[in-house]
Amino acid sequence: MGKVIAIDGPSGAGKSTVSKLIAERLGFEFLDTGALYRAAALHLKRMNMREESPDADISRALHGVVINFKNGRVFLNDEDVSDAIRTTEAGHYASVFSAKKAVRDFLLQTQRDAAVHNDIVAEGRDMTTVVFPDAWKKFFLDASEQGRAKRRYLQLKEKGMKITMEEASADVRERDKRDSSRDIAPLKKADDAVCIDTTDLSLNEVIEEVLKAVNKTQ
């Protein structure tokens, strides 16, 4: 089992960018678990699954499905879905379906397998609490609601998507409420996670904070 740096937090707190760069700096692999949930949700939508669908139907729909990463791209049964999973709609369905036990069970082993032969930086909502409770280092990245909405807005704009600041704000608010209040593996700060508020910090400052905490207790 490799070393795991586990990073959780709400949407728009900057987890992906920070995790990717920390992984690069330390020579670790980067595991974007949100991408796994987004790809699974895309598949379930295509299979006409709905929020109300029973777990047994969802499990059946996911049977034999392979989601993996190659050269930083995300593949759903060999189809490159890297762009398709980045829309606000895909994020919405990822949040909806991620509350289902069948989906979380389906993705659990894939996530743990990523650390079997590699040191990884894993980011998501339950990395520190459920998937890697014994992680080498744990972090919780947070930011004000306004700061998170702004970051999400800029990210989607940069990808060329049509979105207003109000829509970005509604997206993070709605998803975080659902992700934090669900019964299974809700988003919450682990007692032993280092909390970093990224609202007023630059990307470099956040990375320095994380690296400082990693080095301090090495």
**Which one of 13, 18, 126, 198 is in contact with ligand DC (CB under 6 A)?**
126
| Closest CB to ligand DC among residues 100, 201 | 100
Query: Hey, is 113 helix, strand or coil?
Result: helix
Query: Hey, is 195 helix, strand or coil?
Result: strand
Query: Hey, is 115 helix, strand or coil?
Result: coil
Site stretch for ligand DC (CB under 6 A), options 20-28, 89-97, 138-146, 160-168: 89-97
**Does the protein bind ligand DC through residue 139 (CB under 6 A)?**
no
Site stretch for ligand DC (CB under 6 A), options 22-30, 32-40, 68-76, 203-211: 32-40
The interface mask with ligand DC, positions 164-193, x = CB under 6 A, is -----------x---x--------------
The two tokens of residue 129 are 């609490």
Q: What is the 3-state secondary structure (H, E, C) of 44-89?
A: HHHCCCCCCCCHHHHHHHHCCCCEEEECCEEEECCEECCCHHHCHH
Do residues 2 and 118 lie in contact, with contact meaning Cβ atoms separated by under 8 Å? yes
Give the binding site for ligand DC (CB under 6 A).
11, 33-34, 37-38, 91, 94-95, 98, 124-126, 175, 179
